[in-house]
């Protein structure tokens, strides 16, 4: 749908950028910080790209003032960062480390001094290692209890300084990678354990939100979900049905729980019949269905969606013309064939490539309209304000004559900001946009070859860069977008 004239971005729109503690801070053993599961995982050979780790990262811990000064120079209105739980409570559920708290207090004060709204993420994947070793991490409800204790420390210390809070970053991603595909800590490959851990995280999320509403009545809280719209490969109604199944399995499984306190009936029934659904007790239901335990806004991290067709793996394709290439996400490529309980989606839908979309160097589809679709779908279904808490392009940036000309990133961001403006014109209530990422940072599994920032940082996979900060071309471009409140991004271009 095209408009003669697009609506303006709201006056107080939060033009922001994001980061995560493990990917930027470094100082992994400084000032009393405990180890996290990522500290251990990245130190084990072969787990990450070229064995890169966050020991130093881009040393934001020591450069935070310089980094905030650059944010201010850019005119950033909001900055999303995460707190490292093991910096605050090194043993996960023991004593509070005052120096850890002080670091975030300093950072928040520095942001406020520069009129930058802090958006605080409580959990961006770096669980204190002690909790993994003592309780088996998220597979035990005592980790949820520990999270509540940690949440209370954050709420009481920062309730007057921080308005926007994010509970869990991409619960769908870190549970799948950590417990199903075995590519993140704790490196488990068992879908039943994934659903169990995920359920305990749902309880932690709901309890933390409820507590927030008691302690920080004027704040807003919600999870950041990794959302991807699902497309049907054809207009064959069986493919369309498969796309409904996939949306349920990939998105509703988490979003329905956050906003309604219930798993979607269809997917639950399938998982239950395979003996892998999580048990939901009456006490769980009371916690999860309590409206005070539901979010005030939804954080959406948007990179790409997916395309599916009806089950052709189990039902052989007869017509040769119908054959297609399966993508890397094909569940049969990632799991041993034949084990139905480990591959519950196979009968429901099969992932295929989308011939209409180009991909990044890492094979992620580029689909700005998908962002508008996502915003529409999520807003329509849950009627909550949305904040885009991540969106960006990973690329191999090059420094040439002291400059980084990342025109490709500008194009990517421009297209996505336009999609956002169109969604606002459609009627979506959008609070803000946090591009991933403010500065370059450590990619969990891609080291420093995949960069996202507006600010280049001289760091490399051997961690011996100078750490010099250099604004890229996109830095000045985004500065202008913020200055114009996005009015220069419109459909005519
Ligand atoms: C999201 C994570 C971020 C960030 C981003 C880019 O899933 O929340 O922390 O890493 O993806 O990911 P990558 O570095 O793998 O390209």
Residue 166: predicted pLDDT: 98
Tell how far the Cα of 453 is from the centroid of ligand 1, in angstroms.
Answer: 12
Are 218 and 337 in contact, with CB atoms under 8 Å apart?
A: no
Residue 1: predicted pLDDT: 76
Residue 340: predicted pLDDT: 80
491 a catalytic residue: no
Largest Cα separation within the chain, whole Å, is 66
Residue 113: predicted pLDDT: 98
Mean pLDDT by 10 residues, the chain (493 residues): 91 98 98 98 97 97 98 98 98 97 98 98 98 98 98 98 98 97 96 97 98 97 98 95 98 98 98 96 98 98 95 66 55 59 90 94 96 98 98 97 97 98 98 98 97 98 96 98 96 65
Residues in contact with 266: Cβ distance below 8 Å, sequence separation at least 6, in sequence order = 245, 248
Q: Catalytic residue among 25, 110, 117, 170, which? A: 170
What is the distance between the alpha carbons of residues 343 and 336, in angstroms, rounded to a whole number? 9
Residues in contact with 85: Cβ distance below 8 Å, sequence separation at least 6, in sequence order = 36, 92, 122, 123, 126, 127, 128, 147, 150
Which of 228, 363, 390, 448 gets mutated to test ligand 1 (max ligand atoms within 8 A of its CB)? Answer: 390
How big is the chain, counted in residues? Answer: 493
According to DSSP H, which parts of 47-175 are helical? 60-74, 85-88, 98-113, 129-135, 141-158, 171-175
Residue 59: predicted pLDDT: 98
Are 75 and 484 in contact, with CB atoms under 8 Å apart?
A: no
Tell how far the Cα of 392 is from the centroid of ligand 1, in angstroms.
Answer: 9
**What is the residue with the minimal CA distance to atom 12 of ligand 1?**
443
Tell how far the Cα of 444 is from the centroid of ligand 1, in angstroms.
Answer: 7
Ligand 1 shell residues, CB under 6 Å: 20, 169-170, 173, 226, 301, 390, 394, 436, 443-446, 450
**What is the residue with the minimal CA distance to atom 4 of ligand 1?**
443
Residue 318: predicted pLDDT: 55
Residue 328: predicted pLDDT: 52
Atom of ligand 1 minimally distant from the CA of 445: 15
Residue 19: predicted pLDDT: 98
**What is the residue with the minimal CA distance to atom 10 of ligand 1?**
443
Residue 362: predicted pLDDT: 93
Residue 337: predicted pLDDT: 53
Which of 47, 303, 436, 448 gets mutated to test ligand 1 (max ligand atoms within 8 A of its CB)? Answer: 436
390 a catalytic residue: yes
């Amino acid at each position: 749908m095209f408009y003669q004239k697009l609506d303006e971005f709201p006056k107080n729109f939060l033009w922001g950028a994001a980061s995560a503690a493990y990917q930027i801070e470094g100082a992994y053993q400084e000032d009393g910080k405990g180890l996290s599961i990522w500290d251990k995982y990245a130190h084990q050979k072969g787990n990450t790209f070229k064995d890169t780790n966050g020991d130093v990262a881009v040393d934001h811990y020591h450069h935070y003032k310089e980094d905030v000064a650059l944010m201010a120079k850019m005119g950033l209105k909001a900055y999303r960062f995460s707190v490292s739980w093991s910096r605050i409570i090194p043993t996960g559920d023991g004593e509070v480390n005052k120096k850890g708290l002080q670091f975030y207090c300093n950072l928040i004060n520095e942001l406020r001094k520069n009129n930058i709204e802090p958006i605080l993420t409580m959990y961006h994947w770096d669980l204190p290692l002690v909790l993994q070793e003592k309780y088996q991490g998220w597979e035990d409800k005592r980790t949820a209890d520990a999270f509540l204790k940690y949440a209370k420390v954050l709420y009481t210390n920062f309730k007057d300084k921080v308005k926007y809070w994010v509970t869990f970053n991409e619960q769908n991603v870190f549970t799948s990678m950590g417990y199903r595909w075995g590519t993140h800590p704790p490196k488990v490959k068992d879908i039943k354990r994934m659903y169990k851990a995920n359920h305990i995280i749902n309880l932690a999320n709901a309890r933390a939100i409820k507590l927030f509403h008691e302690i920080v009545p004027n704040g807003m809280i919600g999870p950041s979900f990794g959302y991807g719209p699902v497309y049907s490969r054809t207009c064959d109604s069986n493919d369309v049905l498969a796309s409904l199944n996939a949306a349920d399995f990939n998105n509703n499984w988490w979003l329905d729980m956050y906003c309604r306190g219930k798993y979607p009936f269809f997917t639950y029934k399938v998982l239950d019949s395979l003996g892998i659904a999580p048990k939901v007790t009456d006490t769980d239901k009371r916690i999860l269905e309590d409206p005070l335990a539901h979010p005030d806004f939804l954080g959406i991290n948007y990179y790409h969606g997916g395309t599916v067709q009806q089950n052709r793996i189990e039902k052989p394709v007869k017509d040769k013309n119908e054959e297609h290439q399966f993508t890397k996400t094909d569940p049969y490529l990632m799991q041993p064939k034949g084990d139905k309980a480990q591959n519950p989606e196979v009968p429901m839908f099969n992932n295929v490539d989308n011939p209409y979309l180009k991909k990044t160097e890492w094979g992620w589809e580029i689909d700005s309209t998908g962002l508008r679709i996502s915003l529409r779908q999520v807003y329509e279904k849950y009627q909550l304000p949305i904040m885009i808490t991540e969106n960006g392009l990973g690329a191999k940036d090059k420094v040439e004559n002291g400059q980084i000309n990342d025109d490709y990133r500008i194009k990517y961001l421009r297209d996505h900001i336009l999609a956002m403006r169109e969604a606002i014109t459609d009627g979506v209530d959008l609070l803000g946009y946090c591009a991933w990422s403010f500065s370059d940072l450590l990619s969990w599994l891609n080291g420093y070859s995949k960069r996202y920032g507006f600010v280049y940082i001289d760091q490399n996979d051997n961690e011996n860069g100078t750490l010099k900060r250099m604004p890229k071309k996109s830095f000045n471009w985004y500065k202008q977008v913020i200055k114009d409140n996005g009015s220069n991004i419109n459909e005519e271009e």
